[in-house]
Structure 1
Amino acid sequence: MEGRARSALPFVGMITVVLVQASNMVVMKMAMSDGMNKYTMLFYSYALSSLVLLPCPFVISRRSGTCPPLTLAVLRKIFLLALVGTVSRMCGYVGINYSSPVLGTAMMNLIPAFTFILAIISRMEKANWKSSSSQAKLVGTIASVLGASAATFYAGPPILRLPPPPSSIQPHRLVFLLSRQSNWILGGFILAAEAFLISLWYIIQVFILKDYPAVLNMMFYSMFFSTILSGLLSFVAVREPQAWILKVDVGMIAILYSALVDIVFRLTLTTWCLKKTGPVYISTFKPLGIVFAVGLGFIFLGETLYLGSLIGAIVIVMGFYGVVWGKSKEEEEKKMEGSGAGGGSLASSSHRIPLLQNRASSV
């Protein structure tokens, strides 16, 4: 029972990650619609997250005695990780500013396909097309993307309605969340670039965790480098001094939510799940974001639930379980091979270790 509970932790963690990411898109859109500068918001979010993670490499890890040596090679990889992460987050801000959180959530469904391709190219994922596990992962990934696309772009007839909330509790900024703007196509391309960079961010993390398996330390150094990069970008792009002045409004709420919840909590939890399972597994949760978007819109914004959304959600769940079944099947095949090989492989096969855990956590 204890082993099953531990194996379920990455599942629960990734569900939380997707929910936080979807809600953060809404908060960011509301702040930018209220006049918050996206460049300064990026800088302040990274700066606050770095401050929160500051004790990790100096107090927590050294007290526990588990702090690995930080070499120059590892530091270069972390800087590359910070660069990719900063550019991807900036693409997300710009893309959502041009379009909406709904389109942003939809484009996140490209992450499983991008991650699957990059994992095969980098030889992190074995693609034996004759194996039922590989076929299930491929079909499940495609089904998740198709289901999310159907939920986003096909409405169909309405099947359930809720009365809209009273006008007194419906801020005018919420109109921006689902409105199609003239730069919708440009925003879609930028958000697609963000999805690719997030997939690349996963792959780079695997290489870093192989030599430096301290999650919180790696996150601090990455956020520190991102603070410097975003600060340089902000000083070049922002010309108005008043854009740097913080006010007690939705902009400050967005910075606090982005720094504490989306960056510190979500990214750290994502990295921990990545260390336990690998990049392909965590990327398969991204299509669930559109399910959360539809559900939150139906419950809190009084949106109509359409047949296309329901069909898309069902297909997403089927595809998701297809990938999970494929990963479980592949794990069983690895255990059988390990038990037959004998020797040192018996130690690694005595636990339920998901794909890529050995590569990601070995020193």
Structure 2
Amino acid sequence: MWSPSVTQVMVTLEVLDVGLNTVTKAAMSGGLSHFVLVVYSNILAIFFLLPCSFIFYRKSSRPQLTRHIVYRIFILGLVSCCGQMFNYIGIEYSSPTLASAMIDLTPGFTFLLAVISRMENLDLRVQSSQAKSIGTLVLITGALIVTLYKGLPITVVPSTKKLLKGFILSSQSHWALGGFFLAVHSVVLALYYIIQAWIIRDYPAELMVTLICCIFVTILSATVSLVAEKDANAWKLGPNIDLMAIGYSAAFAVSLRSALHTWAIKKKGPVYVSMFKPLGMVIAIVSGVTLLGDTLYLGSLVGAATIALGFYAVIWGQAQEKLRVDDNGIGSFKSSSQKVPLLQNMTCKYRTFA
């Protein structure tokens, strides 16, 4: 029986994830540059991850870091840098609620990229493949509904919350642009997962991969930001919400969230962890309406429900494939690496160490 402690951690992470989107949105609405946010948060994250790596690997050995692994991590850092930029630009032009809804596209795009890269087999004669294929189309349809269709207002913004609503939310004219960047972020995040699986297969040292990737992201984002950010005053920070957003992003998004997701996946498997993503969308909608005074529109409600439906169709298909792999007696990552797709291998590996 699954331990409630893992459930509590995953629910807490989803709440904190929504909080991160809200804080960064507020900071960027107040003038914080998304370029500066990415650079400073990754620099600060290095100071979090570096001592953790020394402590963790002090008494345990880690695999040898080869030149080819460093090349792979550099590619991972390049993808991560682009993903962080697109995510913060999307939040700046839209809202935390839309960001939480669009992130549910990631499982669908991950499935598509895995099929293209032949990490997953697609056989439309099998029910699980049919569910994943249909679910992917439903996910994309739901995202288009949330982005392009506003609909009638379901809730009315209280007058006492209009000021806060104007501070957190963007102009509706930028809604589609923000949704586009958030959708691109979902594609990039899916690519990030594919590359990460490719690296971990040959270099199973998650903390070191995270640290080195963070260093590359810092170098890449600083190079881009020094050219793109023309205002020198944008790099000056005061003791305000800007500093809070940078610290929140560094401690949670770049460091803590990655570590806890890895821990939860090892204990319960990736399907269990990914099932909590729609919860983040619900939390975002509820908090947006109750705390920020966000107006709930029919399009957001219908699109969110469509995304959740497609998401669970993909997850159900993955769960059925995992059961089929278990029934065939495959329980080792190494022994099955030439027989089943990589993503299924990773699932078997996590289950073996659970």
Superposition TM-score, scaled by structure 2 size? 0.81
Task: Tell me the distance in 1 between the aligned counterparts of 2:326 and 2:350.
Answer: 18
Q: Could you list the runs of 5+ residues in structure 1 that have no partner in the other structure?
A: 346-352
Distance of aligned partners of 1:174 and 1:249 in 2 relative to their CA distance in 1, 3 Å threshold? farther
Corresponding residue to 1:357 among 325, 347, 351: 347
Alignment of 1:114-129 (within 5 A): 114-129=109-124
Alpha-carbon displacement from aligned partner over 1:75-107 (angstroms, at most 9, x marks no partner): 111111111101111122223323333443343
Question: 1:116 is paired with a residue of what secondary structure?
Answer: helix
Corresponding residue for residue 249 of structure 1: 240
Distance of aligned partners of 1:194 and 1:174 in 2 relative to their CA distance in 1, 3 Å threshold? same
Question: 1:166 is paired with a residue of what secondary structure?
Answer: helix
Alignment of 1:134-283 (within 5 A): 134-147=129-142, 149-150=144-145, 154=149, 161=155, 164=158, 166=160, 172=163, 174-180=165-171, 182-272=173-263, 277=269
Question: 1:259 is paired with a residue of what secondary structure?
Answer: helix
Q: Per-residue deviation at 1:254? A: 0.7
Task: Tell me the distance in 1 between the aligned counterparts of 2:299 and 2:231.
Answer: 45
Is residue 114–residue 199 contact of structure 1 (8 Å, CA) maintained in 2?
yes
Is residue 148–residue 316 contact of structure 1 (8 Å, CA) maintained in 2?
yes
Distance of aligned partners of 1:331 and 1:182 in 2 relative to their CA distance in 1, 3 Å threshold? closer
Task: Tell me the distance in 2 between the aligned counterparts of 1:361 and 1:224.
Answer: 30
Task: Tell me the distance in 1 between the aligned counterparts of 2:204 and 2:189.
Answer: 20
Question: 2:57 is paired with a residue of what secondary structure?
Answer: helix
Question: 2:257 is paired with a residue of what secondary structure?
Answer: helix
Corresponding residue for residue 284 of structure 2: 293
Q: Per-residue deviation at 1:268? A: 3.1
For the pair 1:22 / 2:18, whether they are aligned, the reply is yes
Task: Tell me the distance in 1 between the aligned counterparts of 2:119 and 2:350.
Answer: 10
Alignment of 1:58-77 (within 5 A): 58-63=54-59, 65-77=60-72
Task: Tell me the distance in 1 between the aligned counterparts of 2:43 and 2:207.
Answer: 16
Q: Per-residue deviation at 1:181? A: 5.1
Distance of aligned partners of 1:143 and 1:287 in 2 relative to their CA distance in 1, 3 Å threshold? farther
Alpha-carbon displacement from aligned partner over 1:32-76 (angstroms, at most 9, x marks no partner): 11111222221110011111000233221232x142221111111
Is residue 213–residue 360 contact of structure 1 (8 Å, CA) maintained in 2?
no
Corresponding residue for residue 348 of structure 1: none
Q: Kindly tell me the number of residue pairs found equivalent between the two proteins.
A: 341
Alpha-carbon displacement from aligned partner over 1:309-351 (angstroms, at most 9, x marks no partner): 5555544444444333322322221122227xxxx78xxxxxx
Alpha-carbon displacement from aligned partner over 1:14-39 (angstroms, at most 9, x marks no partner): 65554433332221121111111222
Q: Could you list the runs of 5+ residues in structure 2 that have no partner in the other structure?
A: 337-342
Corresponding residue to 2:47 among 51, 62, 69: 51
Q: Per-residue deviation at 1:123? A: 2.0
Task: Tell me the distance in 2 between the aligned counterparts of 1:192 and 1:216.
Answer: 28
With 199-208 and 284-293 compared, the bigger mean Cα shift is at 284-293
Is residue 107–residue 311 contact of structure 2 (8 Å, CA) maintained in 1?
no
With 321-330 and 182-191 compared, the bigger mean Cα shift is at 182-191
Question: 2:63 is paired with a residue of what secondary structure?
Answer: coil
Is residue 155–residue 309 contact of structure 1 (8 Å, CA) maintained in 2?
yes
Q: Per-residue deviation at 1:139? A: 2.9
Is residue 165–residue 301 contact of structure 1 (8 Å, CA) maintained in 2?
no
Task: Tell me the distance in 1 between the aligned counterparts of 2:31 and 2:146.
Answer: 30
